[in-house]
Structure 1
Amino acid sequence: MDFLQQLGPVALGSRLRRLSEYLTSEAGSIYADYGLNFQPRWYPVFYLVAHRPGISSNEIAEQIGHTHASVSQIVKELVGNGLLTMTPDTQDQRRRLMALTLLGHEVLPQLRTQTDDVRRSMQALLTAAEVDLWRALDGFEQQLQQLSLRHRVAEARTQREAAPMQLRDFRPGDQPIFRQLNEEWISHYFTLEPADFKALDHPEEYILQPGGCILLAEINQQVVGTCALIKMPEGSYELAKMAVSPAAQGQGVGLLLGQAAIQRVRDLGGGRVYLESNSKLGPALALYRKLGFRDLAQPNPSPYDRADVQMELLLT
């Protein structure tokens, strides 16, 4: 699996950079196909000047959201290639006003033709991808304008450090509490089955040694919740044996465990999380759907008689 895909949203910047580099490389080839000696990074500056002759570099930077230094470098390149002119502002000699040269006006119709073809191609691509990526990016940028990523991370850190709840991996000696938490809820609603005894009595043999893991949630150094990931074929993991102590319910323990388990699957290189549940467990099913799980269209054979709901979360 692609490493950035494994990392998930934390690598969003790297993934966008990779996509940007790909699109920039393709754009350079497309300009060449149309006989244009033109660089992709010139496009927003050149097009803005074409639509607003007499605009200054500061105004360009404000309009396209680039730094003034970046715009100044692009303007310098466009002037050097004979596509733009700069003239002093008669009212302010410190300002330089941009306009297209004769060569720039000759290039403009070819560039517009190419732009129309690219626009239609991109619209078709977005339709095929079944996502309104442009609108999604608008919403994403608006959220960052309201509160920067740095401040969001600072808030998450503060919440984590202030929260009494901590997660950790299974350690030797945890088997009794792992069994107790699960036996408590299973016995309340159902009857323990042979598959339960295997996992709860021998978690190292049936869960950990084959490549799975067990997470535990602690409050004030007391284990109040747990869940397991059981390795399955073809990069899948089963989310199983999720249990929260009745005294700790309503504090977000299950959500925290579920989110951590999904991230662990990503870290392990898995592409799918599968689970089995029962239709009478309403709060649990609501939690799974909040985490992104969807019901399977075709059920699989199960070792549990109580399993009448099967769900999956695709990570790829």
Structure 2
Amino acid sequence: MNFFDTVGKMAIGSRLRLLTDKITEDAAQVYGMYGISMQPKWFPVFYALSRGENKTITEIAREIGHSHVSVSKIVREMIKNGFIKEKKDKTDGRKTVVCLSPKGMEVNEKIAAQYIDVNNAIEELSAQTKHDLWKAMQEWEFLLEQKSLLRRVQEQQKLRESSQVRIVPYQPQYRQAFHDLNEEWISTYFKMEASDYKALDDPDGHILRKGGHIFVALYHDEPVGVCALIPMKDPDYDFELAKMAVSPRAQGKSIGWLLGKACIEKARELGASKVYLESNTILKPAISLYHKLGFQKVAARKSPYERANIQMELAL
């Protein structure tokens, strides 16, 4: 069985390299047919200079879509082989420009017939195919400009891993995890305060028996995230979203989002009209998460926490 049939689309890079290698191998021989001693990889730079203009390496790199380092290396090789020459720019002596040498200009005249034959060969090949490779490449290039393959893989990884996360109601067995996960993040950025100890040391008395709820995120059955929905004695708000913590080992799996959604759905189920939270603006990922959940900044209120410098609300 063909290797690529077995491996599938995840070997796209290897398959494209194989196709490139086949075409490049033939291209080297094609140049020989026309008596041109040029390497295929030089062609984009050669063509960029073929209209007789002087150009900087930066200008060439921008035109052909290659890196400055790549173009610089090719230019050095072409200078060494006599195809192009470099000189100071007449309008700015600090700039170095390159252009075709007499040898390069001679090749430029000889290569015209090769252009015709290669183009016709590609057109013939395209006519024998069911799919237009050229248009497909344009589509892929456009889409990868919008979002790289790396970014797409990262998103798929996040989707797969987040699908393995379970959000469950608090049980006594998770008491230590509730305490430790919160203490870990608070101690990383701030300091533990009296209000923290009250809630974390006695979640039953300070949260659950007062009508609150705690949710726990399990990843492979290990508690890696927690969040609480705490009733508020306030005419403007029904609940506070608080004590959200995710283990650094489990970040990047949408756990904060899943915990936040679970708390919001519970608040909605209980007939709440508004949910409140407090945070600190140095916690940029957290603030971004709250915005995605629908929270909006509100005027500052008196907080029991020294670290709180932003208050937010969500209208349900």
TM-score (norm 1): 0.50
- Equivalent pair of 2:52/2:100 in contact (CA under 8 Å): no
Identical aligned residues as a percent: 37
- For residue 98 of structure 1, give the secondary structure of its aligned residue in structure 2: strand
> Which residue number in structure 2 is paired with residue 7 of structure 1?
7
Following the alignment from structure 1 to structure 2, what is the Cα–Cα distance between the partners of residues 95 and 62? 16
> Which residue number in structure 2 is paired with residue 114 of structure 1?
114
User: Residue 110 of structure 1 aligns to which amino acid in structure 2?
Assistant: K
Q: Where in structure 2 are the equivalents of 1:97-176 lying within 5 Å?
A: 97-164=97-164
CA positional deviation for 1:165: 9.4
Q: Where in structure 2 are the equivalents of 1:10-159 lying within 5 Å?
A: 10-51=10-51, 53-159=53-159
TM-score (norm 2): 0.50
Following the alignment from structure 1 to structure 2, what is the Cα–Cα distance between the partners of residues 6 and 92? 57
Following the alignment from structure 1 to structure 2, what is the Cα–Cα distance between the partners of residues 141 and 52? 29
- Structure 2 unpaired stretches of 5+: 167-219, 222-316
Following the alignment from structure 1 to structure 2, what is the Cα–Cα distance between the partners of residues 165 and 5? 33
CA positional deviation for 1:110: 1.6
> Which residue number in structure 2 is paired with residue 250 of structure 1?
none
Equivalent pairs counted in the alignment come to: 168
CA positional deviation for 1:51: 2.2
User: Residue 53 of structure 1 aligns to which amino acid in structure 2?
Assistant: E
User: Residue 134 of structure 1 aligns to which amino acid in structure 2?
Assistant: W
With a CA cutoff of 8 Å and minimum separation of 6, indicate the structure with the bigger relative contact order. Answer: 1
Residues 86, 133 of structure 1: CA spacing in aligned structure 2 closer, same or farther, 3 A cutoff?
same
Residues 155, 109 of structure 1: CA spacing in aligned structure 2 closer, same or farther, 3 A cutoff?
same
> Which residue number in structure 2 is paired with residue 298 of structure 1?
none
- For residue 90 of structure 1, give the secondary structure of its aligned residue in structure 2: coil
Deviations 1:45-80 (A, max 9, x none): 011111251111111111111111111111112111
User: Residue 114 of structure 2 aligns to which amino acid in structure 1?
Assistant: Q
CA positional deviation for 1:90: 3.4
Q: Where in structure 2 are the equivalents of 1:179-198 lying within 5 Å?
A: none
User: Residue 87 of structure 1 aligns to which amino acid in structure 2?
Assistant: K
Which consecutive aligned stretches of 4+ in structure 1 deviate over 6 angstroms post-superposition? Answer: none
Following the alignment from structure 2 to structure 1, what is the Cα–Cα distance between the partners of residues 40 and 88? 27
Deviations 1:6-57 (A, max 9, x none): 2111111000011111111100111111111111111110111112511111
CA positional deviation for 1:92: 3.5
Whichever of the two has the greater Rg, that structure is 2
Deviations 1:191-243 (A, max 9, x none): xxxxxxxxxxxxxxxxxxxxxxxxxxxxx99xxxxxxxxxxxxxxxxxxxxxx
Deviations 1:72-106 (A, max 9, x none): 11111211122211111234344221211222111
- Structure 1 unpaired stretches of 5+: 167-219, 222-316
User: Residue 88 of structure 1 aligns to which amino acid in structure 2?
Assistant: K
CA positional deviation for 1:164: 4.9
Residues 5, 93 of structure 1: CA spacing in aligned structure 2 closer, same or farther, 3 A cutoff?
farther
